[in-house]
Every structure is written in structure tokens, then in C-alpha cells.
Structure 1
Amino acid sequence: MSCFVIGGGGLVGGGTVGLSKSSCGRCSGGVRVSRSSGVRMKAEVTNGASPVKKKPKKTIGGVIGIIWGIAVMLWAIILIVPMAILHPLVRWRDDTRRRVHDYISRWFFMVPMFAIGVRPRYIHRENLPPADEAVVYVANHQSYLDIFCFGFIGLHHKFVSKIEILRVPIIGTAMQMKGDVALRRGNRKSQLQTYRDMLNTIKNGNSLVIFPEGTRSETGKMRKFQSGAFKAAKATGAKVVPLTIVGTREAMPNSALLPLRRHKIAVEVHPAIDPKNLTEEELSATARAAINSGLPEEYKDEISPAAA
């Protein structure tokens, strides 16, 4: 899931200055004057500080991306209808698990991938848990497409997703009806509520899907793991199932709004890790080492995963 840092600056001397000549240079006091539109110039204080880096513009995909985007929007609109109609019945008969919604949402993830001719290949499916066992899936996070790979896992699960995503019209509404967990990053009280929701979800027999890096990797290499997934596994006794996702970054890098190209995608399922005799730190390091082992060499940890 992604976070944005917003920076700001101040105006000096009214913000813009007029010059009689169409030239540029530096005036005293650390004010850099640059050409704007012929005679009007913008003044910017430098004072020896590094310029603020602008966030690169997102690349919009070509035909592949457009097809995928249309499929996502249309399919979301189509699927929200049966979910909304069935929701009262689902709440009445299966409120703690909502498996009908899980099944419907699975198609939301699969159809856009089918539309661009991509079907993730699952390696070592025999390591997947029994359908009735609640586990914590943890995976590396390189692309938005990572989320869509879980439509092909064939088992019920709930995502832990940023609360902002759950507020998005249609898609967020469907996630709320499905019972996905809202990740709150505000004060400690909000974070504790998220943690309690995670525990209750597991105790009710649902598996959780968590990207412990917290956001997508810019480089393809794993970021530092957050502890929430492993705390929840320790508290409930749920096994941790590490997954290595490969190929999504090549299809839809972090710089892209939509998929750029077709690319083979593979999801390697590693053996489940029993948290019983491990500390949270050991559990995290063991899961990270497993995920790291399945990554291409250029994305592997440069240091020991246990020390990351």
C-alpha cells in the first residue's frame, strides 16, 4: 500500500519580481532569479539548501494499461451489485467470515488480469494451508498488481489495507462489505483498533493478507518489515505463510498508473512458519529470509535477512 510526503515553501519579496531585461542570474542575499515568461521572473531562496525533489510523473500505460483499467472499473461496477443485494443475507448467515463476498471479489481480481492475458503461476501450491485454516500471508510488495495475484490463490482471505483505500467509492465499499481490515496510521488508539480488528479477523477463522513492508518498494528490493503481521500471528498462534511475488514490477512498476506490458508473474509459496517457539523478531526474520530466497538476484537483500 503507498504514502506521500508533502513539502512546502515560502514566498520572498512578494513571490515574483519584474525585470526590464530578459536575462537571468543570481542577486545578493541568496536569491536565485530565473527566467519565467519573458520579463516576469520568480524569486526562489536557495541559501545553500538542496532543491526540493519533485515526485516523478506517473507513466500512463499503453493499450495494455487501458484495457486493464477499463476492466477494473467495469468489473467493479458489475460486481458491487450482487454484493450489495446479498449483503444483508451474508451478514445474517455468515457475518464473521462473509465467504460469499470473498468468492465474488476473487473475480474482481482475476478478470482484469485475464483481460491483458496474464495469469500468475503459483509455485509449490502444496504449501498452501487447508481451506479451513486461518493463517497470515506475508509477501513482498513491488507493484499494485501484487494485490491482484491473490485472486488466483483459491482460498478465502481478508486484506489489511490503508483506510484511505476503503474510502474509495465502489472498490472501498466492496472491501468493507467483504470484511477487509482498515489500517489506521494515526494515533496510538487508532493503531490499537487496527490490531484488535486483525486479531478478531483471525480468531473468526479468516486468513489475513499483509504486505509487511507497508508500501511498494521503489527499487524492487524489500524495505524494512513492520511488526504488525508477526505480532498478530504470535498472539493468535496462526501460522505465517511467506509468498514471493516476481514479475509484477516489470509489468507495472511503481512509476506507472496502469500496467505497461504483459509479463510472466510467479508466486512462490513457502512452507508455513509456526510461531510457537519463535519471538516476533525471529518470526519476521524467518519470513523475510524465505521471501528473499525466491527473489531474482538483483532484488535480493544485500545483507543477511535476519539482520534487516
Structure 2
Amino acid sequence: MLKTLGKFIFMIELGYRHIKIFKRTYFHPFISLKPAYTQLSKDRQSYSNGVIEFLNIEIELIGEVPQKDKVLYAINHRSLLDIIVMEHIFSKHNKNGTWIAKQELFDAFYGDFFRYSGCISVDLENRKGLLKFFKEIKKTLSKIDDFNIYIFPEGERNKTPDILEFQSGAQKIAKANNLDVVPVFINDTLESVFKHAPYKEKKVVQVHMGDLIDHTNLENDYINFMNEAKG
């Protein structure tokens, strides 16, 4: 109980400190889009690296992070640690980008973390909101040459060992902006990893990074990649 409480207290306190850091950039009157997203990406990564260190987790990357930017990373989603693990990887490869998140996350008690850290919200039930979302994505990609998009195509946290049916968002974003896709498979049940953290001895988590693929058959190509990763 104390172990569980301790890690949540650590993450919440660290999160609130970083919200203050995010706000310096978010509300900066003279910063332009590219340096703003670059700084917010680095600050999200700083938070994630702090959590990874506290939980005593090591990420084993199988495959390579592509050098190319302006791509969409399609990632399976099982745990609150998924974003943290991926941000840790991006920090090692100097990647800049944004997470696509449902509006509900921005409305939750921890919504300020998403709101001010450079994440982009989408309201799937609001047609005007969807149009605004796609315009924002296109505008941002046109102004930032090293920008990337991170998304969970399943749309929600998956409690099964398989993949939920992909929602249409990832494919539509990639198609509308002519983006290649990087399939990413986190090969550990991070919910269980998080439950037993922090670890006395280093806990290794495997993340498989695929080659660039076209968005046309995203779900089938992702499933094939996942099955290969599982061996």
C-alpha cells in the first residue's frame, strides 16, 4: 500500500512541477510554434525520464527510431506508462512531436498536464471540433519541419493481449497529411510493470519499433508487425 501510494505521490508532485514549467512556454508572449513545441517536447521527456528513473525501469529498444521526421507513430496502448516509456525513447533520439488525446483527458483533474504540455485534443463527437483539429494538425506540420505525431490507434486503453479494432483517426491523419507511419509495439504488460514498481533491481521493458509503412492498410500491417515482434 505504501509502495503504491509513494509512486503516485512522486508522479503527481513531479507532474505539478512540470505543469508550471510547461506554462512558461505555453504562455510565452514571444515564442513561435517550432521552438515552443521543441521545448514542450523536451519538458515532457524530462518528466518521463524522472518517472522511469524513480520506478527503476530500463527500456530495451528492438529496431530503430527512424531519422525521418514528419511521421506518425502508431503505438499499442495498455497502460498509463505507455506515454512515459515512449517519451523516454524519444528523448534518446532528439524527437519533437505531440500526442493526440481525447478531449476527456483534458477535462480530467490532471487535464492541465495534457493541455499545457503541447498535446492536441480531439473531440470525436463534435464535427466542428474535428475540422478544427485537422486544420491545427496541418498548420503545425506546415510550420515545423521536425514535427512528429504520436497516437494510440485503438483509441483507448486495451486490457487484452491482442489489439482492439483501430479507430479511423490515425489513418485519416496520415492520409490527410501524406505521412508515413511507424508501427510501435510495447511488448510488456506495463500495467503489471507499474503495479510492481518501483523495483529494487532494474526492470527491463521491451519496445519494438518497425520500419516506415504506408497508411493504406494500417491495421493489417500493424497486426503483421506485432505478430512478427511476438515471434
TM-score, structure 2 length as denominator? 0.83
2:230 paired residue among 274, 295, 298: 295
Stretches of structure 2 lacking an aligned partner (at least 5 in a row): none
Distance in 1 separating the partners of 2:111 and 2:22: 13
- Tell me which protein shows more helix as a share of its residues: 2
Identity, % of aligned positions:
21
- Which fold has the larger relative contact order, with Cα–Cα distance below 8 Å and residues 6 or more apart in sequence? 2
Distance in 2 separating the partners of 1:92 and 1:292: 48
Distance in 1 separating the partners of 2:2 and 2:63: 33
Distance in 2 separating the partners of 1:119 and 1:272: 25
State the superposition RMSD in angstroms: 2.3
What residue is the counterpart of 1:143 in the other structure?
79
Q: Tell me, yes or no, if the aligned pair for 1:139 and 1:291 is still in contact at 8 Å.
A: no
Greater Rg by CA: 1
The structural deviation recorded for 1:63 is 4.5
What residue is the counterpart of 1:41 in the other structure?
none
Distance in 2 separating the partners of 1:191 and 1:85: 28
3-state SS in 2 of match to 1:219: coil
1:85 paired residue among 24, 36, 47: 24
Paired positions, count: 219
Counterparts of residues 162-241 of structure 1 (less than 5 Å):
162-169=102-109, 171-205=110-144, 206-241=147-182
Q: Tell me, yes or no, if the aligned pair for 2:63 and 2:210 is still in contact at 8 Å.
A: yes
Distance in 2 separating the partners of 1:103 and 1:225: 29
Q: Tell me, yes or no, if the aligned pair for 1:106 and 1:151 is still in contact at 8 Å.
A: yes
Tell me whether 1:264 sits opposite 2:200 in the alignment.
no
Amino acid of the residue matched to residue 229 of structure 1? Answer: A
Stretches of structure 1 lacking an aligned partner (at least 5 in a row): 1-61, 253-258, 297-308
TM-score, structure 1 length as denominator? 0.64
Q: Tell me, yes or no, if the aligned pair for 1:202 and 1:208 is still in contact at 8 Å.
A: no
3-state SS in 1 of match to 2:57: coil
Counterparts of residues 7-156 of structure 1 (less than 5 Å):
62-89=1-28, 92-96=30-34, 98-125=37-64, 127-130=65-68, 133-153=69-89, 154=91, 155-156=95-96
Distance in 2 separating the partners of 1:72 and 1:215: 22
